[in-house]
Amino acid sequence: MSFTELSLAVLLLLLTPGPSNSLMLVAGAERGWARALRLIPAELAGYLLCVLPLALAGAAVLDGQDGLRSLVTLAAGIWVAALAARLWRLPAIGAAGPAVDARALFVTTALNPKALIFGLVLLPSPDRLAANLALFAGLVVLVAALWAAFGALLRQGSGQPRAMFVLRRLASVWLAAISVVLIARGVGA
């Protein structure tokens, strides 16, 4: 895969709505863009925690270990379901502080199924792993900033606690749908 093809594949996968992107969207809506950017190191660290070991040795470790892959997928589904429930139960903005914190974003990203694709399929390369990881890290920062900006635009567009409450509910429903798919894959595999 050429560097351009890799860049496009990583960018498209990172842009796909998922648990981490949903949390960055909500963070941007709750905190504004500048304050949401402070969460990006947590997202990057979560990805690297999973991606780096997989890119270095994951294929050899997970080869033939379908049970382990299923367990990771199931754990990710359960975590995302817990996040969905947490977002659903929160009161209006301001009453309980922000719904998204660095810990939630870190754990969510570390369990993000996309990390398996990055670490096992897209990034491993014996001759350019460092360059692939640098590209990946830069694109993670860019995409997280874009999702936070989108959330901040939603905040400016409405700015009303009711609209933020609805956004949290929509994010909760989306995360619940993702969790159902992950749990089904984890149990069915």
CA 69, CA 75: separation in Å to the nearest integer? 10
- Looking at residue 96, its pLDDT comes to 52
Considering the chain, what is the average pLDDT of its residues? 82
**Residues 115 and 51: beta-carbon distance below 8 Å:** yes
Please state the pTM of the whole predicted model: 0.75
Tens digit of pLDDT for each residue in 107-153?
Answer: 989 988 788 878 877 888 878 889 999 999 999 999 999 999 988 88
Residues whose CB falls within 8 Å of the CB of residue 127, separated by 6 or more in sequence, listed in order: none
